[in-house]
Structure 1
C-alpha cells in the first residue's frame, strides 16, 4: 500500500554542482495490514547509540519504471520485515523500543538533472554520495531512487542502527531484490528476543571486571567526546593487496585482521604528526555463529566491539605480523558465545541507563587523546545478489559519516566479485594523508571506471593525487 506525498526538500547540490532534485515522496506500507503492537529491543540493541547507517547501489541501466518496481516489491517484503515499517519510540523507562504500526517506509524519487552517472566522483562521498543517500526524517528506514540522464539509477537506503546491524539489513536487501525479480522468497526473519534474554537478573557487582565491563561503559561514566574533524573517502583495495597483507600478517590471520593491523599502523603514522602518544583500534564482531544454532535469520544487533590501545611510537616500530597478533588476541577474546551472554547480562544489570562502547569514545586507556578507529566488516553482503531485475550493481558501498569520537572504516566486496574490496573511510584528515601516501592498498575510485569494469582509474587533474 502506498501513500503519495510531496516534499519540501527542494534541490540538493550534487557532484560537479549539479542539482539532485526530489520529485516525489511515497510512503510504502506493508501489503497486508499490521496489527499495532510494541516490540522490545534486545539488550544488544540497547548498546547502540541513535545513529543511522547508509548503503547505496549504482546501476548502469535501471529502466523507466525502476521506482514502481522497487515500491511494489518493498510493500511485499514489509509484511515479513514489519518492524522496518514502524517507528522507534520510548517505553515507560525512557528506553527505545519499536512501535510496529505499519506506518511504512518513505521512498523519495529524484533526478540528477543533466548529470551522467559516469561523472560521479565516488572517492569523495561528501560531494557525490551525500546527495544520493536519504536523510531519514521518520520511521526506521528511508529509501531514495535517483535517476540519471544516461538511464542509470542509484538506490540509497538509510536505516536506524538501533533496530538492526548490517547483517540483518543485508538479509532485507536480498529479500527485497528477490521480490522485485519475482524470485523465490528467502527464509523469513526471526524477531525472537528470547534468543538474547539474560540467563538471570544480575546486579552490577556481579558483572564488574568482566570483558563486557572493559569494553562498554554507562553513559554517565563516559568522558565527553573529543573535538574531532573527519574526512570521508571511498577506496578500492585490489585482491592482490588484500592477499599480500594477509600473507605478511602471518599464518592463521584473517584478511580482516591483517587489514585492521595495517590500518592501525597508519593511525600510528598520523598520531606521530600530531604528537599524539596513543592509538586505539576496534573491530565490530558478530556473535551469531557464537550463540544459538538458530541465529542465522535473527533480525537485530548481535555485536560487540573489542579494541586495543598501543603507543604510537611502539606501533611504528612493530612488524605487521606483530600488530596482527595483537588484533587477533583481542578479537578472539570477544568472539565467544560466553562473552555475548555476559554482555546481555551486563546491560541488564544497568538498565535503563544507556551504555556506549569504549572503542567509540576516541580515547586511550587512561582517557588521554588518541587517534582512534573502529573497523566494521560488510564483507558478508552478497552485492551481486542485490539485483532488482535490471542486473547487478556496477558499484556499491556503505555510507556512514557518523558523529562518534573515533573514525569508522567499512570494507565490503567489490560489485565485480573479483576479490577486490571497496572501503568506506570516515577518519581524521591526517589518517587520510597517511593512507594516500603509501605505495599500495588504498586506491582512488571513479564511477567511470566502475561502469567500464575497472573501479580504479587515474585521478583527474582536479582531484587530489593518489599514490598507486
Structure 2
C-alpha cells in the first residue's frame, strides 16, 4: 500500500473553548511578532498501542484538558484581527480551538515518516483553518494514537508552543503547570528615541508578498535521522584553534557546504540560523523570558559563493556560521531590531534570507529544535514514541529543524523542507549523515 494512500475518517469536528469565561481583551503584537508573516507550523507526536485506554476516552481526556489549559493560554483560543493601522493583533475572545477527532485506517508502522508530505500533511497534521491553533487527534488501526497541532506563527514561536504542549500534558495528568505563560509585551517596547542599527537593513527587508503556507510545488519535506557519532564527528571537524563549535553550528556548516557541492561555483548559497533572544534579553532573575509567550527570534544569515564553500575546509565554513550567529546573539541586537521595526511601522518586514533571489543556488534556514519536549508529552498513557515538527511554509527558502531523536542516545531527527534535487543531493553526497527515517529505526515493527 502507498504510504500516503490510507483513508482518514472524520469522527467529529468541534470547537473547544476555555472552560472558564475569559474577559475579552486585545493582546497587541510585539515588534518581534510583527516580523512574522502569516505562516503556520505543525507539531505532531504519536503513541504505539495503548491497550488500557479506549480511543474515545483518550479523545475525551485531551479535549477536557485542552479546555482547561486554554484558561492560561487565552491567545490560542482567540483570533488575529487587523487593527486600524492594518497591523495584526490578537483578540482574546475565547473563540476556541478547532478540534477534530478522526480515525486512520493504517497501522503506525506503515506510516511513512520519511515523506511527511504524502503521509502526514493535511491527513494527520491538520491544515490551519481559522483558529490560531488547530488540533487533530487520530485513532490508528493498531490501537495507537496520533496528535497533530498546527500553530499560527504570528502568535507563537516554537518555545511558546512547547510551553503550551507541556502545560496541556501537565493538566491532563492533574499536575500543576510547571511554567505559567507571561504576556508582558512591555518587555519589548522600543526605546525612546528608537536606535535602530543600519546593519539590520542587510538582514531584514520590506515584506512585499507573504509566502503561501503549504505550497508544495516548490519544496519537498523529508525527515531523516543522524546518528550521534556522525554529529560528534562533524563537531570535531568543525572545531579548531582551541575553540569547540556547537553541534548546531557544525551541522549547519556541513549542510551549507553540501548544498553548494554540486552547484555552479559562481552561484550564491545562503544560510540563515534562527537565534532565540530569550537568553540574550532575559539575563537576570527580574527579566527572565523563559515563560514569555510570543516570538523572540532573529534570523541572521550568511552568504557565500558555491565555489568558495567547495574550496573551504569544514572548520572555515563553521567559522563563518559562528560569526553569523554572533551578530544576533546579543541583547543589543534584539533591542536594535525592536527599534528597527518601530521606525517602519505599519509597513511589514521580513528576514531577507526568506527573500530568495532567483539567481541563488539555494537559501536555507536552520532552527534548532533541541528543546522539543517530546518525552514530557504524557497525557496519562505514557510519553510519545515519536514526535517532530512539520513546517512546509511555502516560498523558495528551505527550512531545517534538528531535534532530539526518540531513543535518548544522542541521535538527532532532522525535519527538512528543501527542493527535491537538494534533498537528493544530500542523500547522494552524505548518506552516512542523512539517513531516511524508517520504521525499523523508530522500532515500530
**TM-score, shorter chain, exceeding 0.5:** yes
Q: Does 1:374 align with 2:365?
A: yes
C-alpha separation between the residues in 2 aligned to 1:176 and 1:186? 10
C-alpha separation between the residues in 1 aligned to 2:326 and 2:165? 29
Cα distance, 1:330 vs structure 2? 1.0
Cα distance, 1:319 vs structure 2? 0.9
Is the 8 Å Cα contact of residues 219 and 355 (structure 1) preserved in structure 2?
Answer: yes
Distance 1:72 1:14, change over 3 A: farther
Which of 310, 326, 334 is residue 340 of structure 1 equivalent to?
334
Distance 1:14 1:356, change over 3 A: farther
Q: Provide the aligned length of Structure 1 versus Structure 2.
A: 429
Distance 1:423 1:223, change over 3 A: closer
Which of 128, 138, 141 is residue 133 of structure 2 equivalent to?
141
C-alpha separation between the residues in 1 aligned to 2:352 and 2:193? 24
> Which residue in 2 is equivalent to 1:442?
434
C-alpha separation between the residues in 2 aligned to 1:177 and 1:451? 24
Q: Does 1:240 align with 2:232?
A: no
C-alpha separation between the residues in 2 aligned to 1:16 and 1:223? 26
Is the 8 Å Cα contact of residues 120 and 448 (structure 1) preserved in structure 2?
Answer: no
C-alpha separation between the residues in 2 aligned to 1:277 and 1:271? 7
Q: Does 1:183 align with 2:172?
A: no
Cα distance, 1:187 vs structure 2? 2.3
> Which residue in 1 is equivalent to 2:324?
330
Is the 8 Å Cα contact of residues 267 and 372 (structure 1) preserved in structure 2?
Answer: no
Q: Does 1:49 align with 2:40?
A: no
Q: Which runs of 5+ in 1 are unaligned?
A: 1-12, 454-468
Distance 1:270 1:300, change over 3 A: farther
1:202-217 alignment runs, 5 A limit = 202=194, 207=196, 209-210=198-199, 212-217=200-205
> Which residue in 1 is equivalent to 2:114?
123
Which of 1 and 2 has higher RCO (CA within 8 Å, sep 6+)?
2
Which of 71, 75, 78 is residue 67 of structure 2 equivalent to?
75
Which of 235, 254, 259 is residue 251 of structure 2 equivalent to?
259
After alignment, is 343-352 or 438-447 more displaced?
Answer: 438-447
> Which residue in 1 is equivalent to 2:124?
132
Is the 8 Å Cα contact of residues 390 and 415 (structure 2) preserved in structure 1?
Answer: yes
Deviations 1:86-127 (A, max 9, x none): 0011000000010000111111011112x1111111101111
Is the 8 Å Cα contact of residues 218 and 396 (structure 2) preserved in structure 1?
Answer: no
> Which residue in 1 is equivalent to 2:343?
349
Cα distance, 1:392 vs structure 2? 1.4
> Which residue in 2 is equivalent to 1:59?
47
What SS does the aligned partner of 1:257 have? helix
Distance 1:239 1:21, change over 3 A: same
> Which residue in 2 is equivalent to 1:422?
413
Which of 87, 93, 108 is residue 101 of structure 1 equivalent to?
93
Cα distance, 1:362 vs structure 2? 1.6
After alignment, is 345-354 or 30-39 more displaced?
Answer: 30-39
Is the 8 Å Cα contact of residues 384 and 416 (structure 1) preserved in structure 2?
Answer: no
What SS does the aligned partner of 1:23 have? strand
Deviations 1:305-348 (A, max 9, x none): 00000000110111110100000001011110000000000000
Distance 1:422 1:198, change over 3 A: same
C-alpha separation between the residues in 2 aligned to 1:102 and 1:265? 47
> Which residue in 2 is equivalent to 1:7?
none
Q: Does 1:313 align with 2:303?
A: no
Cα distance, 1:448 vs structure 2? 4.8
What SS does the aligned partner of 1:412 have? strand
Is the 8 Å Cα contact of residues 14 and 20 (structure 1) preserved in structure 2?
Answer: no
Q: Does 1:390 align with 2:381?
A: yes
Is the 8 Å Cα contact of residues 276 and 371 (structure 1) preserved in structure 2?
Answer: no
Which of 133, 157, 166 is residue 165 of structure 1 equivalent to?
157
Give the TM-score, by structure 2 length: 0.92
Is the 8 Å Cα contact of residues 23 and 111 (structure 1) preserved in structure 2?
Answer: yes
Aligned residues: CA RMSD: 2.1
C-alpha separation between the residues in 1 aligned to 2:263 and 2:93? 48
Deviations 1:198-217 (A, max 9, x none): 01143xxx63623x222101
What SS does the aligned partner of 2:85 have? coil
Cα distance, 1:412 vs structure 2? 0.9
Is the 8 Å Cα contact of residues 207 and 213 (structure 1) preserved in structure 2?
Answer: no
Which 4+ stretches in 1 moved above 6 angstroms?
221-224
Is the 8 Å Cα contact of residues 219 and 396 (structure 2) preserved in structure 1?
Answer: no
